[in-house]
Every structure is written in C-alpha cells, then in structure tokens.
Structure 1
Amino acid sequence: MTQRLTPSGQRPARRSRGAAPRRPAIAREQRDQRGQASRDASDSGRSANRPAAARRAPVRRTSAPQPRRFTGRATVLLVVLIALALGYTYPVRVYLTQQSDIARMEAAQETQRRRIGELSEQAALWRDEEYIKIQARKRFYMVYPGETPLVVLSDPEGAARDAGIDPKAGKGAKPDPWYDTLWSSIQAANNAGSRP
C-alpha cells in the first residue's frame, strides 16, 4: 500500500483517536511563504527577486455597497400604512363633522330650554290678577273709575306749539362750513393788504 503525498511532499500526519485535528501542513507552508513574500517585499531589492505573489498588482480595496435605505419589506409596510391612512381619513372626517353637529344641536337645545323657562315664568306671572292690572295700566293706560290719567309727552316742539311759541324761533341759522370761513378770512386779509 502506498501513501499519498501532500503537495509539499510530506506524508499526512497520523491522527490518534480522540486527539484534536492538527492544522494541515499546506496551510502552514502557505503562511510561511506569505511571510517570506512580505519580508522580500519590505527589502529594497529588485522586483525580480520577489516571489510571484509579491509581484502581483496591488489589490484595490473597494468600499462595500451602501445598503438601501428602504428594503422591500419597509416599502410594502409604508404603502400599507399610507393606504390605511387614506382609508381612514373619510370616516374620521365624517365622525368629526357629526361631533360638531351634535355640539351645535346641544347648544341650540340649551338655548331653547332657557327660552322655554323664561316663557314659563311669564305665563306663571299672567295667572296673577295683580300683575294683569299693572300691565293694563302700563300698556293700555287704563285707570280705575274716578282716577285722572296723566300722560307725559317728550315732544318739545308740540309743547312749544301748545304754549303758543314758534318752535323754530329758538333755533339759530346754521353756521357756514369751515372752508367758507377760511376762504372769507383769506379774502379779508388780501383786501386789507391792498388798501393804501
């Protein structure tokens, strides 16, 4: 039976049962070659002396692609949320309109209740006979038999006519407007300056 040789020319190492596997010799040799290549590259020798691995063109490092801001799931979630928001805007608007209508109607009902209360109080007053007599005297100038009613009028012109005085005699003529007064004073000043 022949043993296979590894690329480095060594035989594979024997493993004992239960022992941890050793690193292959190939990996160790490659690491040694890389160390040698880096040492050769650090020397100031010519490039011909360097191994082929060191003579290769330097590897350019490229930046990793930036992840997209929105993934497919995030986009779908955003579309679903927008659709839900648009779907709920009309019912919410209807709800708010109904709430404002309810508030307006409750305010109108409260005003009507207040007015009904005032009218109920007035109706209760009209059941009293004394109140009816007071209202008849006040509104219709009614008096008991034997009383003389006295009505005070606030008509100065009528009172002056009844007294035999001309109502317009006490009033003076309307004064001239200010611009007429100003113009007449300018003319008077001009006439005074032109006299010898």
Structure 2
Amino acid sequence: MRRPALRKRAADARSSARPAAARRPAIAGAAKRLRAPGQGGLSGRALAFLLVLAVLSLSYAIPVRIYLTQLAEIDTMTQAQEAQRRHISSLEEEADKWNDEEYVRIQVRKRLYWVQRGEIPLIPIWGDAIDMGKPPTKPAPTTWYETLMSSVDAANG
C-alpha cells in the first residue's frame, strides 16, 4: 500500500521540477516562451551581497578619507619644515657675514653714511631713498568709523 503512494509522490516531484512548457504540449503555431515571466530580477542573495558591499564601502570610506587627509597634512608640514630650514640656513649665512670686519665696515658706510677721515661725504637724495623726517601719511579712511576717528584725531591735533 505504501508503494503506490511513494511512486505517485515521486512522479509529482519530478513533474513539478520541470518547467510548465515541458509538462504540457504547446498549441500548434504558438510561439515558445523561453523564460518565465517572474525571472530576470535580482535574487535575495544578490541583494544581500550588494547590501554587504555598500556597508563595507561606507565603513572603509571614513578611515581612507582620514588617512588621505593626514597624508596631505604630513606633506604640508614637510614643505613648511623645508622652508624653515632654508630660512635658518640663510640667517646663518647672514650671521657669518656679520662676523667679517670688512662686511661690517661696508654696511656701516652704506646704512649710517659714515666716512673715513679725509673723505668728503656725498649723500644723494632721491625722493624716497632717504628718510627726511616727514611723518608717515595715513591712508584715506574707507569706512564710517574710520572717517569719524580721523575727524576726531584732526580736531585734537
């Protein structure tokens, strides 16, 4: 009694595993369907995989951004350090020049207009080349409070 029931279940399992087009004959002249109407979308596994990829990419994006920012900061600091080294070396060269007596003598003659005994001092005066003792001119005020303060200064003076 069990045997016919087992055979029937096995036959049902086999027939349900086959596509519907293979189970019944097609009508004469009808086009054969190659794909079932519900197929073609993303499966559950594919959606889960895409979700995992999106979460991983978002979780790696922030550390990568921080890493790249730190690399840029390191590069900026390295360039600033190199510029500072160049500045220090130029200052050391300048200090070495001031240890030379001849350089000091030239600078004193040039900046302070000192002359040796017996020399006639000749100082050329070309516009802004020498400070004539004039007070510095202030730029024209541009805002209302600068105008107010300049008029208060003018009234006091």
TM score, norm. by length of structure 1: 0.46
> 1:61 offset after TM fit, Å?
6.7
Name the CA shift for 1:152/1:71 in 2 (closer, same or farther; >3 Å): same
Q: Distance in 1 between matches of 2:68 and 2:59?
A: 15
User: Could you tell me which amino acid in structure 1 is paired with residue 85 of structure 2?
Assistant: R
Larger % of helix: which? Answer: 2
Instruction: Find runs of 4+ consecutive structure 1 residues off by over 2 angstroms.
Output: 58-64, 66-69
Q: How many pairs are equivalent?
A: 99
Structure 1 position 65 matched with structure 2 position 36: yes
Q: Tell me which residue corresponds to 1:100.
A: 72
Of 135, 154, 165, which aligns to 2:107? 135
> 1:115 offset after TM fit, Å?
0.6
> 1:74 offset after TM fit, Å?
1.1
Q: Distance in 2 between matches of 1:107 and 1:130?
A: 36
When Rg is computed on C-alpha atoms for both structures, the one with the higher figure is 1
- Post-superposition Cα deviations, 1:38-64, rounded to whole Å, max 9, x if no partner, equal xxxxxxxxxxxxxxxxxxxx4777633
User: Could you tell me which amino acid in structure 2 is paired with residue 100 of structure 1?
Assistant: A
User: Could you tell me which amino acid in structure 2 is paired with residue 115 of structure 1?
Assistant: H
> 1:96 offset after TM fit, Å?
0.9
Q: CA RMSD in A?
A: 2.1
Of 77, 80, 91, which aligns to 2:52? 80
Please show how residues 161-180 of structure 1 align to structure 2 within 5 Å: none
Q: Distance in 2 between matches of 1:65 and 1:94?
A: 49
Structure 2 unmatched ranges of 5 or more? 1-26, 128-157
Q: Tell me which residue corresponds to 2:118.
A: 146
- Post-superposition Cα deviations, 1:90-111, rounded to whole Å, max 9, x if no partner, equal 1111111111111111111111
Q: Tell me which residue corresponds to 1:117.
A: 89
Q: Distance in 1 between matches of 2:103 and 2:51?
A: 75
> 1:146 offset after TM fit, Å?
2.2
Structure 1 unmatched ranges of 5 or more? 1-57, 156-196
TM score, norm. by length of structure 2: 0.57
- Post-superposition Cα deviations, 1:130-189, rounded to whole Å, max 9, x if no partner, equal 00000000000011122221111225xxxxxxxxxxxxxxxxxxxxxxxxxxxxxxxxxx
Q: Distance in 2 between matches of 1:88 and 1:140?
A: 66
Q: Distance in 1 between matches of 2:48 and 2:90?
A: 63
Q: Distance in 2 between matches of 1:111 and 1:126?
A: 23
Q: Distance in 1 between matches of 2:126 and 2:71?
A: 54
Q: Distance in 2 between matches of 1:84 and 1:130?
A: 71
Which structure ranks higher in relative contact order (CA pairs < 8 Å, sequence separation ≥ 6)? 1
SS at match of 2:115: coil
